[in-house]
Amino acid sequence: MKRGLLLSGALLLASGAAFFFSGGIFGDKVERLTGAHTRVVWMRDVEDNRGTRGETENYRLMAYDSRDGRGVRKILGARGNYFRPLLTPDGQRVVFSKFAAREVWVVDFDGGNLRKIGPGIAAALWRDPGTGVTWVYGSSAPAGAPLVRYPLDDPSKAETVWAKTPVTAVMPGNLQLSADGLKMAANLPWPVAGLAQLPDGAWVQTGRGCWPAIAPDHSYLSWTFAGSHRHLHMHDAWGNRDWKVKITRAPGMEDEEVYHPRWSNHARFMTFSGPYKKKGKKKNVLQMAGAAVDVNIGRFNEDFTEIEAWVDVTGSKHGEFFPDVWIEGGSDYQSKFSRPGVPSPIVEQKVDLSNEWPGTDQGLVFLWADNRAGNSAAAGCLAKSANSAASGEARFGPNHEMWLQNGAVTVEGFDAPMIDAVKRTGTFTVEFVAAAASVDDAGPRRIVSLSKSGTDLCFAVAQHADKLVFRLRTHATGPGGKEVEIAPIEPGRLYRVAVGFARGVLTAWVDGRRVIETDAVPGGLSDWPDDARLLFGNEWGAAGLSWNGLLEGVAIYDRKITDEEASRKAELYAAKLAARPERPVYEVELELVRRHEPPDLEEINPYRRALVLNLYKVTGDSPVADDNGEVRVAEWVLLDGKEPEANKSLQPGTRRTMRLQRYEDHPQLESERMIGEPYDLDHDLYTEAFPGA
């Protein structure tokens, strides 16, 4: 295996790529870092330096060549849209897209031979090492359309390579391929980041966040960009392990936020744009009109645990966005993680049928384990991911469970096949794990439902005061169904619940024990509406009836389970809960010292949720206090685009008692947009513990 070697600060490419002692390696700042001929392309905003999303017509296509002595120059100087420029694998041409028109174009690196290739958005380029053909990977105009590829010089030969899930090929997504072209890193769709086997093979979720990337060698090393815009979350597919790499230590970054991270064609080098500094009182990465944002290149160390050296390519007064880097001979480099010719570690996410919940995939038509798992059911109609979206003040917890509070969670794309499967068999089971936050007289408040509205449903599990109830529609009940009381519940206690129905008999189990069996709901399921939709934590069209509590481990079957299965499932989930790490909770008396205002939604688009780091003075002794008796707390200031009511009254001087946990114990927050002062990140961070923790 060919490896790259570092000698006297310059990179020697053991693959045979030239190591130049003339023409610029000792004179050109970029070649001093890369050790080889290097080219860079990007978009320059010539309007107000705010065009980080690349969607307007206010750009020029820019370039840098470490050998031509011209420095930063224009490839195409006319104002226009040059969305996500990509250097071809030989470094000779640039492929870009016209965002609004959904057109793909190509131009020579010197600006000649400009021509349109075809429709769509180009997301990645890959050269087949066997044939030498350069392929363009991208999406066509409709959102959610399959990912296709075609030869750069013969776009008529298009073929579909991924149709299992939607792929986010525009902002904030990113797509890159491994050296063998068999694996891609992508948002599947945003904010789910994963590695997929092409074409249309197995895929695994590696994280949640934007700008996923995969190393351009045979390592399948990948990353996801953290919501703080300061870290990469690295994922080793072979070892199934993760770690962080900070990318804001480059000279001039001052630990401010960065954007547009992308792997070059050489595994040791990546690029990004930055720094993004706040303007005035704004705490928003995009609020930087008039400020310079440069293109930077960083070099990973051999372990890929840090960036060991940097160079600022542009040093301009403009906004320089969407960089891409080509290094001569870079595609021949193999990192220490590379395993050419070894079978892929990526396998379909299937449960162990005897030792891991849900215990069996027989009849499984829907699975939502948690917000971290790929949630692909192994059977029939569910060879895709259950990607969830929170609305209102609903969010996700440290075990990636749903915390449903004044909001709901939806999962799209499963309703019709699930309903069809259940209507064919006339039987079904729904199971879930839940804990109610409180008890009140209002209700029923729906926990899990498949419905069109409050009065037109298939089924609904709900909390009514201190009771768990189930409402089922059959051809004998009418659209509103009939309600059956299942069991009493206590707030704060986690229950493992399953409800099954077959041939007019409804059975319910709690914590593996049968609690009810009744024929009180006669009839069959043929009248279930085909256009009903699954919803967690509310009912369609009734925002005021949201259920507050924790929900996870949702599974739906097109058959009724047995007492033995119910008991086994409860045991498996109990083992899963017992294996979770302890997360200490600290109850602290605090006084607010400094609060951050919520960012503008337009500026953080497509994010609709954001946290800020607020500074508190700790009253009395507490292990959360730093040397100054203070603590920094990550708090929600935007949920579903709105400021939570609890945050609106929060002002300096406010005293409050909070139950805090370490921020690092809440991995679900790493993919969320977080805003704070750079120096805050040098301190221990905390966040509010979930009720019941």
Is the residue at 343 inside a domain?
Answer: no
Asked if 474 and 597 sit in the same domain, the reply is no
Query: Which of 552, 578, 604 marks a domain boundary?
Result: 578
Between 113 and 251, name the one with better pLDDT.
113
Q: With cut-offs at 50, 70 and 90, classify the pLDDT of residue 35.
A: very high
pLDDT at position 6 is 36
Mean pLDDT of the chain: 89
Token look-up 């949640």 returns: 208
Asked if 48 and 136 sit in the same domain, the reply is yes
Between 691 and 556, name the one with better pLDDT.
556
Asked if 622 and 676 sit in the same domain, the reply is yes
Is the residue at 348 inside a domain?
Answer: no
Is the residue at 555 inside a domain?
Answer: yes
pLDDT at 578 over 90: yes
User: Cis link prior to 691 (omega < 30° from 0)?
Assistant: no
Using DSSP, state whether 672 is helix, strand or coil.
coil
Calpha distance 408→393 (Å, rounded): 8
Between 82 and 282, name the one with better pLDDT.
82
Is the residue at 563 inside a domain?
Answer: yes
Q: Lowest mean pLDDT: which of 88-92, 361-365, 477-481, 652-656?
A: 361-365
Q: With cut-offs at 50, 70 and 90, classify the pLDDT of residue 353.
A: low
Is the residue at 435 inside a domain?
Answer: yes
Q: Helices marked H in 338-396 — which ranges? A: none
List the one residue out of 175, 154, 152, 177 whose CA is nearest residue 93. 152
Using DSSP, state whether 143 is helix, strand or coil.
coil
Query: Which of 308, 332, 356 marks a domain boundary?
Result: 332
Contact 363, 558 (CB under 8 A): yes
Q: What range does the domain containing 48 cover?
A: 4-332
Our count of domains for the chain comes to 3
Asked if 410 and 450 sit in the same domain, the reply is yes
Region 580-585: mean pLDDT is: 95
Asked if 574 and 625 sit in the same domain, the reply is no
Query: Which of 311, 332, 353 marks a domain boundary?
Result: 332
Alpha-carbon torsion angle 399, 402, 404, 410, nearest 10: 170
Highest mean pLDDT among 62-66, 235-239, 438-442, 670-674: 62-66
pLDDT at position 387 is 76
Is the residue at 355 inside a domain?
Answer: no
Contact 559, 428 (CB under 8 A): yes
Asked if 448 and 595 sit in the same domain, the reply is no
- pLDDT above 90 covers a percentage of the chain that reads 71
What digits encode the pLDDT tens for the residues 388-398?
Answer: 889 999 999 99
Give residues with Cβ within 8 angstroms of 297, minimum separation 6.
30, 33, 34, 38, 40, 264, 269, 270, 271, 310, 311, 313, 325
pLDDT at position 7 is 31
Using DSSP, state whether 577 is helix, strand or coil.
helix
Q: With cut-offs at 50, 70 and 90, classify the pLDDT of residue 267.
A: very high
Between 411 and 105, name the one with better pLDDT.
105
- pLDDT above 70 covers a percentage of the chain that reads 90
Asked if 637 and 662 sit in the same domain, the reply is yes
What digits encode the pLDDT tens for the residues 128-147?
Answer: 999 999 999 998 655 667 89
C-alpha neighbours within 13 Å on the C-beta side of residue 171: 18
pLDDT at position 543 is 65
Asked if 497 and 637 sit in the same domain, the reply is no
List the one residue out of 509, 514, 527 whose CA is nearest residue 422. 527
Is the residue at 194 inside a domain?
Answer: yes
Q: With cut-offs at 50, 70 and 90, classify the pLDDT of residue 513.
A: very high
Question: Tell me, what CATH number does 102's domain have?
Answer: 2.120.10.30
pLDDT at position 316 is 87
